[in-house]
Amino acid sequence: MIDHLVLGFSVAFTFQNLLMAFVGCIVGTAIGVLPGVGPLATISLLLPLTFGLDPITSMIMLAGIYYGAQYGGSTSAILLNLPGEVTAVVTTLEGHKMARAGRAGAALAVAAIGSFFAGTVATLVVAMAGPVLTAVGMAFGPAEYFSLILLGLIVTTVLAQGNLFKSLAMIVLGVALGLVGTDLQSGQLRFTLGFMELFEGVGFVPLSMGLFGIAEIIRNLEDPENRAGSVARVGSLWLTRKEFKRSVPPVLRGTVLGSVLGVLPGGGLALSTFASYMLERKVSKYRHEFGNGAIEGVAGPESANNAASQTSFIPMLTLGIPANAVMALMIGALMIQGIQPGPRMISEQPTLFWGLIASMWIGNLMLLVINLPLIGVWVSLLKVPYKTLYPAILMFCAIGAYSVNNSVFDVYQMVLFGIAGYFLIKLHFEPAPLLIGFVLGPMLEEYLRRTMVLSRGDMIVFLERPISAAFLAISALVLLAMIVPSVRRKKDEALEE
């Protein structure tokens, strides 16, 4: 592993890769600070730019945006009581109370230090777990991969926010959209509705930019302008001896929780922050301070979300399974470059795999160094009205969608998916599972058909192979564990009426 990490750092320490890591961290922090933008929309916007970059360089930049957003989200949560990221919602509970008590600097400092420590540990976890999972994945056949992808889709459905059945509907819709285009075995067009432009399938970039760029702009324009609120004074960025001592155990616990839960498909990031906060409320000696600015309520969740953002790369890099919608975008970026994430990635793309892992540690160090000195810049950014931001975002969306294939049809696709995404949000359908289903759907079909060819159409093969049968059993148990309580709840409500 040491030799592999040496290779990774030799790749990551080139000027171009260091520059792109820095750019990714700065952009990620900025969009994390700005509520209503987020890494999904930003990475979707920047996907067209990655075509002209080396695959390693582009992934380092996109990864920097992703975990940089986890850092940035805490800034607006603490200073303005406005979470820039969903993972920063928990931080508002204690962080803004600390800011109102004159300890905003301490809250920002512990968020940055905890995130750096958690990111460092999680990077080592990724480095150690990657080869192990890759070795396991190499033993998989088509049946095992089909069952694993099915498990990933079901877990994504279960852990997604909102209604279970709506999440399931989004997964199914995503899978259906992924099947549009030319059948690779027969060469026949399917589900194209007569549009020849869809012979290669629905565009990944127009879909993602529409769902997470255009739709978010429309939704944000509905909200009243609320960024003009007062920003808390930062004050000293130093922790007192007591605050530092109180912060160490929550940071350690949050790091462990985030490292484990980040691997889960679906809501691992949000789940890790909420789990860390609830754990601290139960085990802290100072739980009577929770709700009034307990530093444990910032240190634990911020460490957990940064650790989870790093370990969410594990299933994506080693098995080709996205742990969340951002990882689905990462897979899309790699596939556009002709690289298929999976068990063969370490052997076929060692410089990409280990270079990306090494860049995670470098990026975390950059974030620690640049974030606290630039607090004044982020405070100024919080005061920018949204009406000056969205026209520029719209322009970049249109340019990005067009530049992929030099096709106006792709711009139309983006607008259509943007309008559809807006109505999905209004109807409380979460779009993220749709994107994961879109990425995994074609893979699910491919492995199903391969298995059927090898077994000559015998479906029992999925149960005859032990690993496949285990994945299917877990899928059934997870689904039942969520459906049964929901059905019982509805029956109870019907009886009460």
Spans of all domains in the chain: 2-142+200-417
Residue 196 carries which DSSP code? G
Cβ proximity of 369 and 70 under 8 Å: no
Q: According to the model, what pLDDT value does residue 252 have?
A: 92
Q: Assess contact for 319 and 138: CB atoms under 8 A.
A: no
Distance CA 202, CA 413 (A): 8
pLDDT for 234: 63
Distance CA 293, CA 284 (A): 13
Report helix, strand or coil for 14. Answer: coil
Helix axes 142-159 and 432-455, enclosed angle (nearest 10): 160
Please state, in angstroms and as integers, the Cα–Cα distance from residue 307 to each residue in 80, 185, 360, 377, following that order: 24, 41, 11, 26
65-75 burial by CB neighbour count: b if 16+ within 10 A, else e?
bbbbbbbbbbb
What pLDDT was estimated at residue 162? 64
DSSP 492: H
**Alpha-carbon distance values, 34 to 39, 368, 386 (Å):** 11, 19, 9
Residue 237 has φ and ψ, to the nearest 5°, of -95, 10
Question: How far is the C-alpha of 346 from the C-alpha of 354, rounded, in Å?
Answer: 8
In the block, residue with structure tokens 């957003």 = 69
0.85 exceeded by the pTM? no
Give the residues of the chain that fall short of pLDDT 70: 35-38, 80-87, 89, 158-162, 223-237, 265-270, 378-379, 381-386, 389, 404, 485-487, 489-497
- List C-alpha distances in Å: 425 to 278, 418, 428: 28, 11, 5
185 φ, ψ (degrees, to nearest 5): -90, -45
Given this model, what pLDDT does residue 399 score? Answer: 77
Tokens of 143: 């049946």
Query: Alpha-carbon distance 203 to 119, whole Å?
Result: 33
Q: How far is CA 471 from the centre of its chain?
A: 23
Q: How many helical (H) and strand (E) elements, i.e. helices and strands, does the chain have?
A: 23, 2
Say which residues have a Cβ less than 8 Å from residue 52's Cβ, sequence separation at least 6: none
Rounded CA separation 318/334 (Å):
13
pLDDT at 433: 82
Which 8-state DSSP code applies to residue 18?
A: H
Q: What does the pLDDT look like over 62-97, one tens digit per residue?
A: 888 887 877 777 777 777 666 656 667 678 778 878
**φ, ψ for residue 182, nearest 5 deg:** -95, 130
Identify the helix (H) or strand (E) that includes residue 182. strand 181-182
- Look at residue 19 in the predicted model and tell me its pLDDT: 92
